[in-house]
Chains A and B, each alone.
Chain A
């Protein structure tokens, strides 16, 4: 009886060939993007998406071509922040789907653009007995398609707005081995720092370069007099960065105008780059660019 090796070819599905083709398609897309940066936090609600959007705004302000992949599949907010609503008309070309164009020409791809209505949740099946494995499989497939099938064009930066938690970084790391690094974001609260520590440890173990730690909502800035006050009781975030031997790249105060400006047709940074918070964002982006270009 013949053995496996005696039979030519594979089972008929050309699995190896297909995997190769998928890889080539992704590679040809990523090769046109100079720097890929993941923005993440172990904890939800730390302002990760707002920071991502305003970092993108600052980079665009410097003349960089910027895109954002909203990897938070189940809680997408990048489109909302950059003025690309669910009602955006999708432009499907033979070689890919055109990204949404947000404020300052920032290119966006987000699940929010793909679902039927603004309040439609991302569901891969409406059957109640869907397994977690199936959902997780579909999420990985979706991330690959959002990366590989979006017509990003030539970009200087692709920012990846990660979901809360550190589980998705495995997926991103395998798809983008040349990832420039991850920016970790925390707020001063002890709980947030406790969780972001795990994310930092995981990235260190996986060999994902950590660009640095951002302390968001570090203080409160009065929009009228620019006076700063304490917002959270917590431990010193600078100490955490020293303990984990990662750069402390930004101390960004809370400003109520951050959430208001996206409703007014622009991002906070473009309107208030000379404010205390605006200057903190500028400094953070300086540090990110320094890390990447060193």
Chain B
């Protein structure tokens, strides 16, 4: 699927940095026209989202977060062993239970991007513990 900015007649670019989908099984993607800067959001309902998820791919391209083995199983199982998550490079950051619960509710195929957005925000702001408040700040900042 591609998006065209009609006034500029150019392809809108997916915004991988700044995606913060709702914490439920809905997809929210942001596209921006590089010429005029106009942004749009593509929002899908639950059934459209599930259809995309069947491909087993990640929206916005693969992220470091998703490239580790068993990433979908490890990040989607309600109660997986900790070792399954131990290869993620951002393990130095502490996630509170509440923040982990919230990120887990993001569909796996956009979770990598969502997580990356939160991590980048935390690193930029010198935050070492990610809690619900930080996630709210990120959401407010990226406007999704």
Contacts and interface: CB of A to CB of B under 8 A. Distances in A.
B120 interface: no
Given A126-B78, A146-B73, A134 B25 contact: yes
B100 interface: no
Interface in A76-119: 89-90, 92-97, 113-117
Given A10-B2, A131-B50, A18 B11 contact: no
Contact of B14 (A2, A13, A131): A13
Contacts of B40: none
A122 B77 contact: yes
Contacts of B13: 12
Interface string B76-90: 111111011011000
Contacts, number: 128
A89 B83 CA distance: 8
A123 B14 contact: no
Interface stretch (B58-66, B91-99, B125-133, B136-144): B58-66
B84 A90 contact: yes
Contact of A8 (B11, B84, B86): B11
Contacts of B76: 124-125, 138, 141
Interface residues of A, number: 48
A140 B54 contact: yes
A266 to B, nearest CB: 26
A135 B25 CA distance: 12
A14 B61 contact: yes
The interface centre, meaning the residue of B58, B84, B87, B108 with most chain A CB atoms within 10 A of its CB, is B84
A216 B120 CA distance: 57
Given A1-B9, A13-B57, A131-B50, A124 B77 contact: yes
A260 B67 CA distance: 42
A173 interface: no
Given A12-B60, A13-B14, A133 B50 contact: yes
B132 to A, nearest CB: 18
Contacts of A19: 55-57
B61 A114 contact: no
A113 B80 CA distance: 9
Contact of A92 (B25, B54, B60, B69): B69
